[in-house]
């Protein structure tokens, strides 16, 4: 048997149209008022939960079938006997055609009453053409069982949502604790982004605003540090040219590279807590070898100078490599 037909807005869950098929609602208003309110609330939540696979929901001996009509952003919901599933499928295709023929009713704010009346009449005619799923005396008997099934389903859904929320809150707590211990600013920035994503899912406005501010502060620090790094990188290259041009007859290992050392040391110190540890250590050790030359051969020193001369001018290349580039995906 067919009992109810609803049209809900896919994104907001707003009820756009309803049809009570088996009962005289005016005559039985006291009996069916709270009953219909429970059904509307339950189906609205299910139709709007974003889970495509839940297109059929068991309600005791009845089923709620959800048919997504993406062209008009509508969910068509039909409540009927489970045994009539095939007939409901046929009916839904006919109803979809009518809905698409009257799609302007659902895409504009101002609707002409005569257009709506035509739409409603066509819906009635299609329903009446399926006499085998119509019986005006059945629903009263099934009301209590249907409500109990709705309450059971709502309890399961609420429990599932509570469990999912708890998991998200636990995940966020772990990430917040990791953020407190983290020293690297890029890691901090990435962790803040994950916290914001989870807080958005939890609809936790206070937490979201708090970490949005923290993310902005960290982003500003990163931008400022990039400017300093660029400054010292330019100074490294300029001072290396000056040192190379004043070598005269001396071998490269005998040159004066104190200015290069000073600038490269400053560059490497600015990488600390912003670049991966191995990148920071690489340029710190390069700077150190400019002063402590006894530890390396002339050939090795020449290779070190070439490496400094060929340093990438793109600051991003020193910061976003390896795990840091894919941090959010790995958390």
On whether both 156 and 196 belong to a single domain, the answer is: no
Interval 48-63: pLDDT, tens: 554 444 477 776 677 7
For residue 272, what is the DSSP state?
Answer: T
d(CA 25, CA 39): 14
At residue 18's C-alpha, the angle toward residues 58 and 100, to 5°, is: 95
d(CA 258, CA 117): 89
Q: Is residue 209 part of a domain?
A: yes
Is residue 33 classed exposed, middle or buried when 0-12, 13-18 and 19+ CB atoms within 10 A define those classes? exposed
What pairs with residue 18 in β-bridges?
A: 6
Please report the pLDDT score of residue 214 as a whole number.
Answer: 92
Q: Give the contacts of 162 (CB within 8 A, at least 6 positions apart).
A: none
Cβ neighbours of 218 (radius 10 Å):
20
Please give the backbone phi and psi of residue 312, each rounded to the nearest 5 degrees, phi first: -65, 135
Which CATH number does the domain housing residue 118 bear?
3.30.450.70
On whether both 36 and 127 belong to a single domain, the answer is: yes
Interval 170-204: pLDDT, tens: 999 999 999 999 988 988 999 999 999 898 888 78
Over 70: is that where the pLDDT of 319 sits?
yes
Q: Is residue 175 part of a domain?
A: no
> Of all residues in the chain, what percent carry a pLDDT higher than 70?
74
Q: Is residue 253 part of a domain?
A: yes
> Of all residues in the chain, what percent carry a pLDDT higher than 90?
24
Domain boundary among 161, 195, 216: 161
Please report the pLDDT score of residue 30 as a whole number.
Answer: 39
Among 23-37, 40-54, 245-259, 288-302, name the most confident range.
288-302
Query: Tokens 């004043």, residue?
Result: 246
d(CA 145, CA 140): 10
On whether both 145 and 220 belong to a single domain, the answer is: no
Report the chain's mean pLDDT, rounded to a whole number: 77
Domain boundary among 130, 161, 192: 161
Is residue 103 classed exposed, middle or buried when 0-12, 13-18 and 19+ CB atoms within 10 A define those classes? middle
On whether both 6 and 153 belong to a single domain, the answer is: yes
- According to DSSP, the β-strands at 74-81 and 15-20 are unpaired
On whether both 21 and 146 belong to a single domain, the answer is: yes
For residue 66, CA distances in Å to 88, 104, 107, 271, 326 come to 11, 21, 20, 56, 39
On whether both 143 and 187 belong to a single domain, the answer is: no
On whether both 9 and 71 belong to a single domain, the answer is: yes
Q: Is residue 177 part of a domain?
A: no
Least confident of 24-28, 114-118, 218-222: 24-28
Q: Is residue 167 part of a domain?
A: no
Least confident of 152-166, 177-191, 207-221, 274-288: 152-166
Give the DSSP H or E segment for 320: none
On whether both 156 and 189 belong to a single domain, the answer is: no
Which residues form the domain of 191?
182-331
On whether both 215 and 304 belong to a single domain, the answer is: yes
Q: What is the mean pLDDT of residues 18-40?
A: 50
Q: Is residue 199 part of a domain?
A: yes
Global model pTM greater than 0.85: no
d(CA 280, CA 288): 12
Q: Which two tokens stand for residue 185?
A: 């600013």
Q: Is residue 172 part of a domain?
A: no
Please report the pLDDT score of residue 320 as a whole number.
Answer: 65
Over 80: is that where the pLDDT of 216 sits?
yes
Burial 310-319 (b: 16+ CB within 10 A, else e): ebeeebeebb
d(CA 244, CA 251): 10
Over 90: is that where the pLDDT of 277 sits?
no
Interval 53-108: pLDDT, tens: 447 777 667 777 888 888 888 888 888 888 888 888 888 899 999 999 988 877 75
On whether both 42 and 122 belong to a single domain, the answer is: yes
Q: Which of 246, 243, 249, 225 is nearest to 316 (CA)?
A: 225
On whether both 11 and 155 belong to a single domain, the answer is: yes
Altogether, the residues listed in the chain come to a count of 331
Strand order of the β-sheet with 74-81 is 15-20, 2-9, 74-81, 62-69, 56-59
Please report the pLDDT score of residue 197 as a whole number.
Answer: 87
- According to DSSP, the β-strands at 56-59 and 15-20 are unpaired
On whether both 47 and 191 belong to a single domain, the answer is: no
Is residue 257 classed exposed, middle or buried when 0-12, 13-18 and 19+ CB atoms within 10 A define those classes? buried
Query: pLDDT grade, residue 246 (50/70/90)?
Result: confident
Over 60: is that where the pLDDT of 154 sits?
no
As for how many domains the chain has, the answer is 2
Q: Is residue 173 part of a domain?
A: no
* Contact indicator for 252, 301 with CB cutoff of 8 Å: yes
Side-chain-facing half-sphere of 243: CA atoms under 13 Å: 23
* Strand spans (E) along the chain: 2-9, 15-20, 56-59, 62-69, 74-81
């Amino acid at each position: 048997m067919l009992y109810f037909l609803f049209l809900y807005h896919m994104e907001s869950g707003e009820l756009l149209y309803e049809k009570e098929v088996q009962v005289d609602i005016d005559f039985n208003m006291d009996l069916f008022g709270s009953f219909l309110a429970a059904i509307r609330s339950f189906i609205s939540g299910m139709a709007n939960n974003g889970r495509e696979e839940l297109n059929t929901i068991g309600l005791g001996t009845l089923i709620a079938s959800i048919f997504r009509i993406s062209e008009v952003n509508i969910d068509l919901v039909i409540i009927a006997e489970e045994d009539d599933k095939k007939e409901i499928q046929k009916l839904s295709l006919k109803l979809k055609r009518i809905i698409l023929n009257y799609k302007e009713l659902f895409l504009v704010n101002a609707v002409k009453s005569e257009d709506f009346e035509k739409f409603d009449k066509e819906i009635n005619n299609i329903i009446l053409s399926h006499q085998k799923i119509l019986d005006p005396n059945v629903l009263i008997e099934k009301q209590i069982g249907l409500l109990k099934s709705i309450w059971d389903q709502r309890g399961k859904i609420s429990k599932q949502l509570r469990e999912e929320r708890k998991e998200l809150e636990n995940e966020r707590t772990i990430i917040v604790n990791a953020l407190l211990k983290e020293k690297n600013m890029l890691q901090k920035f990435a962790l803040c982004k994950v916290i914001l994503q989870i807080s958005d899912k939890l609809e936790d406005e206070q937490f979201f605003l708090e970490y949005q501010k923290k993310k902005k502060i960290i982003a500003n620090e990163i931008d400022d540090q990039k400017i300093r790094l660029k400054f010292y990188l330019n100074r490294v290259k300029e001072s290396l040219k000056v040192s190379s041009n004043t070598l005269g007859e001396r071998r490269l290992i005998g040159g004066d590279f104190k200015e290069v050392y000073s600038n490269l040391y400053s560059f490497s110190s600015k990488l600390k807590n912003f670049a991966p540890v191995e990148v920071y250590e690489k340029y710190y050790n390069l700077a150190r070898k400019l002063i402590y030359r006894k530890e390396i051969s002339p050939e090795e020193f020449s290779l070190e100078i070439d490496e400094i001369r060929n340093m990438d001018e793109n600051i991003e290349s020193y910061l976003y490599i390896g795990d840091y580039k894919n941090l959010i995906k790995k958390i």
